Amino acid sequence: MQILLIALDGLGDRPVSRGKTPLQLAKKPNMDRLAKGGISGISYPIGPGIVPGSDTGYLSLFGYDPYHFYVGRGILEALGSGAKVHEGDIAFRANFSTVDGKMNIIDRRAGRIDGKDADELAKSISKIIVKDRRGKDITFQFEHVHGHRCVLLIRGQDLSPMVSDTDMHVVGQVAWAKAINPSDDAKRTADALNEWLKKANAILKSHSTNKRRKERGLPEANFIITRGASMLTKGVPYKGASYSGIYGEAVSITPFKEKYKMDATCVASGFLYKGVARYIGMDVMSIDRKVGALHADLDEKVKAALSELKKGTDFVFLHFKGTDVAGHDGDWKAKVKFIEKADKAIAPFLKLKDTIIVVTSDHSTPCALKAHSADPVPILIHGPAGMIRPDHIAKFDEVSASHGGLDTLRHADVMPILLGLLGKAKMFGT
């Protein structure tokens, strides 16, 4: 028996038209068919009233308590991008952004810059060296990974991940990095990061690429904002490594295969999702990042997932990003359209035998908010006859799922439920 977990990022929403959510408005016969033959519910990715990130949402979904295992987004982005991370390196998720002459951030994503412009700008600040207060060199490695998104690695002696985010998720005055504990290592790291941000800004604002962007009426990518500082403390990435970050304590991961006695493969194009998968020891398929966005050809991912299942892989995680992009853009019509496209793409999975299919999400991204919310997400579990106790639900959406047999749960409950269906749950008592 195999498991296929299909995640539509940011799927959950609130009513957008005629009192219905995008999921209710979408024509999705395949998801509805899975719901009709399975069992549904609504799940809080972390817990009621908590707004999850994608990273913490997926950690929870895979059974890794984010309150213990989440060390920050930086190391996850770095692992997903394939960047070479060494012991002691501090990793950040970074954005190209736009600031005005008074250092006010006016666009957190620099017009969603991508392609050649982003590559050229990244190259210009890719290897800047800053002297710390002791006169020691600190090297900054900056890499463009996709769209406005980048990875920043800081390498030097006695650095600390205990520094604040400079990406506050809102426009306004630049927030400079601060030490979030009283250690000298944290203060030196924050000071060095701020010095790098200023040097990068000086290079970017005078770069010919930004001058051309201004002439074309495009936002200049003239500043970098960072978040999710985290560190590889020992070991080799993906194999027995330890990490530290926002909680200041090192953690080691029990790999997915060891934890659940199942092989697992991630089929995703976004670096964060591949990074989470690598962090917990999943294998990661190489998928072209061009198939990962709102207008992606999803068939390539579906073929890759089917290939993994055909090989006998026990657990396949298939990720679709477009629902989240539409939510952040506040475009409910695009969200409906992408849900319908995803529904069409997953049609081949309905022919699978001896496979449990899970459809859910990492968090809600309501179009009205253009941001993540604390709303729970729908979940369905479908499997072979006699394995799943089906309920009466015939539609897959937030409202219908809330009346399903799974009732209300948390993402932390999902893996134990699946293990129970597989007959791998351990008895409590005698």
Measured at the CA of 321, the angle between CA 318 and CA 326, to 5 degrees, comes to: 150
Same domain, 373 and 415: yes
pLDDT for position 134: 86
Q: Say if CB 398 and CB 21 are below 8 A apart.
A: yes
Average pLDDT over residues 298-305: 95
Indicate the residue among 175, 195, 230 that finishes a domain.
Answer: 230
- For residue 289, name the pLDDT band (cuts at 50, 70, 90): low
H-type alpha helices, 237-312: 256-260, 271-279, 299-311
Within-domain flag for 241: no
Tens of pLDDT, residues 399-426: 999 999 999 999 999 999 999 999 999 8
Tens of pLDDT, residues 224-265: 999 999 999 988 777 778 999 888 888 999 999 999 999 999
Same domain, 319 and 414: yes
pLDDT for position 287: 76
Which range (58-62, 69-73, 285-289, 339-343) has the least confidence?
285-289
The angle, 0 to 180 degrees and rounded to 10, between the axes of the packed helices 73-81 and 271-279 is 100
Exposure string for 224-246, b = 16+ CB within 10 A, e = fewer? bbbbbbbbbbeeebbeebbbbbb
Residue 171 has pLDDT above 70, yes or no: yes
Same domain, 46 and 147: no
Helix (H) or strand (E) holding 335: helix 332-345
Average pLDDT over residues 318-335: 96
Burial class (CB within 10 angstroms; exposed 0-12, middle 13-18, buried 19+) of 125: buried
Say how far apart CA 402 and CA 40 lie, in whole Å.
Answer: 8
The angle, 0 to 180 degrees and rounded to 10, between the axes of the packed helices 332-345 and 29-36 is 70
315-320/355-360 β-pairing? unpaired
Within-domain flag for 392: yes
Helix (H) or strand (E) holding 417: helix 414-421
Within-domain flag for 178: yes
Tens of pLDDT, residues 24-60: 999 999 999 999 999 999 999 999 999 999 999 999 9
Say how far apart CA 201 and CA 152 lie, in whole Å.
Answer: 15
Range of the domain at 335: 2-64+254-421
Residue 109 has pLDDT above 90, yes or no: yes
Same domain, 263 and 373: yes
Average pLDDT, the chain: 94
Same domain, 378 and 289: yes
- For residue 146, name the pLDDT band (cuts at 50, 70, 90): confident
The angle, 0 to 180 degrees and rounded to 10, between the axes of the packed helices 208-215 and 115-124 is 150
CA 349 to mean position of chain CA atoms: 24
Helix (H) or strand (E) holding 146: strand 137-146
Same domain, 285 and 208: no
Q: Is the Cα dihedral 62, 321, 44, 225 positive or negative?
A: positive
Residue 291 has pLDDT above 80, yes or no: no
Tens of pLDDT, residues 206-223: 999 999 999 999 999 999
Q: Among all chains, which residue has been given the structure tokens 């530290």?
A: 244
Which conformational region is residue 386 in: left (phi greater than 0), alpha (psi within -120 to 50 degrees), or beta? left
Same domain, 261 and 167: no
Indicate the residue among 179, 196, 230 that finishes a domain.
Answer: 230
CB atoms within 10 A of CB 206: 11
Within-domain flag for 248: no
The proportion of the chain whose per-residue pLDDT surpasses 90, expressed as a percent, equals 86
Within-domain flag for 249: no
Q: How many domains does the chain have?
A: 2
Say how far apart CA 79 and CA 273 lie, in whole Å.
Answer: 10
Q: What is the pTM of this model?
A: 0.91
The closest of 267, 329, 272, 331 to 302, measured between CA atoms, is 267
Within-domain flag for 73: no
* CATH number, position 355: 3.40.720.10
Within-domain flag for 71: no
Same domain, 299 and 226: no
- The maximal CA–CA distance of the chain, rounded, in angstroms, is 75
Average pLDDT over residues 106-113: 94
Average pLDDT over residues 180-201: 95
Average pLDDT over residues 61-68: 96
Q: Say if CB 63 and CB 415 are below 8 A apart.
A: yes
Residue 78 has pLDDT above 70, yes or no: yes
Same domain, 193 and 116: yes
Residue 288 has pLDDT above 70, yes or no: no
Tens of pLDDT, residues 147-161: 899 999 999 999 999
At residue 385, φ and ψ (nearest 5 deg) are -55, 135
CA 217 to mean position of chain CA atoms: 31
Q: Which residue type, as a one-letter code, is found at position 330?
A: G
- For residue 74, name the pLDDT band (cuts at 50, 70, 90): very high
Same domain, 274 and 361: yes
Say how far apart CA 120 and CA 318 lie, in whole Å.
Answer: 32
Same domain, 360 and 316: yes
Q: Say if CB 13 and CB 22 are below 8 A apart.
A: yes
Within-domain flag for 261: yes
Same domain, 295 and 202: no
pLDDT for position 132: 84
Indicate the residue among 196, 230, 264 that finishes a domain.
Answer: 230
- For residue 369, name the pLDDT band (cuts at 50, 70, 90): very high
